[in-house]
Amino acid sequence: MSAKRSSIHGQWSSRWAFILAATGSAVGLGNIWRFPYLAGENGGGAFVLVYLVCVVLVGIPIMMAEILLGRRGRQSPINTMETLAAEEGLSKHWHFLGWMGVIAGFVILSYYSVIAGWTLGYIFRTGTGLFVDADAAFSKQMFAELVADPEKLLAWHTIFIIMSVVVVSRGVKSGLEKAVRFLMPALLILLLVMVGYAMSTEKFMEGINYLFIPNFEVLSHKKFFADILLPALGQAFFSLSIGMGAIMIYGSYLSHKSSITFNCFTIAIADTSVAILAGVAIFPIVFTYGLEPAGGPGLIFVTLPIAFGQMPFGTFFGTLFFVLLMFAGWTSSISLLEPAVTWLVENRDMTRVKATALAGTIAWLLGIVTIFSFNHWAFSFRFAGVVKENGFFDIFDILTSNILLPVGGLLVAIFAAWLMSRSSTVDELGIGDGPGYKAWRFAVRYIAPFGVIIIFLNAIGLFKVLGLVE
């Protein structure tokens, strides 16, 4: 039955179009700063090695399961789960798994667009030479003024949402595929140019050592769990865009002739390569100019502009860097919008243009809540022993990253490996019932769910309460 099912939304023209799109979904703002920072702070090469193991044992098996479900259902995640549950004689309530993914991706888009909008603002700030000879105090002031100004944040947020809506409204081949065919190669070229510049800096090898030389002190049993395994597991899961409906809907556009296994390994390699290249590009610059390699927005929007303001051709390379970030955010945002749009087309008899306009408008309105979370509506609260200072933005982030995504990933694994018939998964994966299939089935049945449960328990702060992490 599944072989005859086709998506009303279209299909990727080739396996490489799918790989580019799925890699674009996976490669986001977090890849550019979070992976390099985690690697440097948590064991260097030791972290990278454990991360790769986590990708193979947790990330790839669940990604294969999610693509499998998407391709077999050929609909929005919500309708796919309802259809597949009916085929397997299961409760129709499994459609709530689809709802979890669509809602998680939609909420993430609402605040992701605000953060990505910062990159648009910094393209112009850097391009006009604002950070030339800037010191730390000036850079911090510029960032503080940006997030404290809701009108500017709204303007950039609006532009970024419109950019995403324009791409998604054009459909699979004319919109999504054309965009990623340009954006992903452009992103890679920009990243390689940045790496080329980093190789010319005085502290290039110091940056490389920071990323790749193993710190064996963290391999002791007391530090391994907290400093390597937990961050590596979390990064492996979240960096592959699992559990938010994006990979499932992209899988629904994939040809039956295309190998899910090959595609998933290729996407994982590409995603990891971009993250590593980002570290190679960023940290030699940070060390050359005596800056602190702090993680998060502080690194991207405060620390690096200082370096760009001091380096030769810094205005050019700084502008290039923020264009790179914008491309990474753009490829992710279109994948976050797509699942909601497909459901509206399928269930509300809307054209794709109307559905995209409606979904984009709702995401834009929800994003305004995030905008005010950084200024007028800011309030602090404590979660898992950590003080959060940005009100609703932090609530959205906790709800999606700490709850909906890991629970969604766990349920995807359970549905595909425990509830779907063996014949259905063998048929859809297309690799036969041999050693490869058995390895996937074992990983997605036992190893991946155990890893996701660890991620979830850490995300809600249980390990902190038990004193296993600081």
**pLDDT tens-digit readout, 3-34:** 468 899 999 999 999 999 999 999 988 888 78
Q: pLDDT tens across 84-125, in order?
A: 999 999 999 999 999 999 999 999 999 999 999 999 999 999
Q: Give 89-92's long-range contacts (Cβ < 8 A, gap of 24+).
A: 90/419
- Three-state SS for 220? coil
Cβ-based neighbour number of residue 121 at 10 Å = 20
Q: Determine the structural domain holding residue 241 and report its residue range.
A: 15-465
Q: pLDDT tens across 313-348, in order?
A: 999 999 999 999 999 999 999 999 999 999 999 999
Answer whether residue 293 shows pLDDT above 90: no
What does the pLDDT read at residue 218?
65
What does the pLDDT read at residue 309?
92
Percent of the chain's residues with pLDDT above 70: 97
In a domain, 248, yes or no: yes
The residues, any chain, with a CB within 8 Å of residue 74's CB and separated by 6 or more, are 2, 5, 6, 7, 80, 252
- Give the residue-averaged pLDDT of 256-270: 96
Answer whether residue 2 shows pLDDT above 60: no
Cα separation, 242 vs 58, in Å, equals 11
Answer whether residue 292 shows pLDDT above 90: no
Number of domains into which the chain is organized: 1
In a domain, 4, yes or no: no
Q: How confident is residue 219, by pLDDT bands cut at 50, 70 and 90?
A: low
Cα separation, 19 vs 67, in Å, equals 12
pTM for this entry: 0.94
Q: pLDDT tens across 384-402, in order?
A: 778 899 999 999 999 999 9
In a domain, 3, yes or no: no
In a domain, 9, yes or no: no
Q: How confident is residue 233, by pLDDT bands cut at 50, 70 and 90?
A: very high
In a domain, 1, yes or no: no
In a domain, 129, yes or no: yes
CA atoms lying within 13 Å on the CB side of residue 315: 9
The residues, any chain, with a CB within 8 Å of residue 75's CB and separated by 6 or more, are 7, 83, 252, 342, 346
Q: How confident is residue 52, by pLDDT bands cut at 50, 70 and 90?
A: very high
Answer whether residue 182 shows pLDDT above 90: yes
E strands, 276-417, in order: 381-383, 386-388
Cα separation, 7 vs 74, in Å, equals 5
| Residue from 395, 396, 393, 402 nearest 147 by CA | 393
Number of residues written out for the chain? 470
Answer whether residue 361 shows pLDDT above 90: yes
The residues, any chain, with a CB within 8 Å of residue 381's CB and separated by 6 or more, are 387, 388, 391, 394
What does the pLDDT read at residue 1?
44
Answer whether residue 464 shows pLDDT above 90: no
In a domain, 274, yes or no: yes
Question: CATH number, domain at 303?
Answer: 1.10.4160
Answer whether residue 220 shows pLDDT above 70: no
In a domain, 5, yes or no: no
Cα separation, 84 vs 422, in Å, equals 14
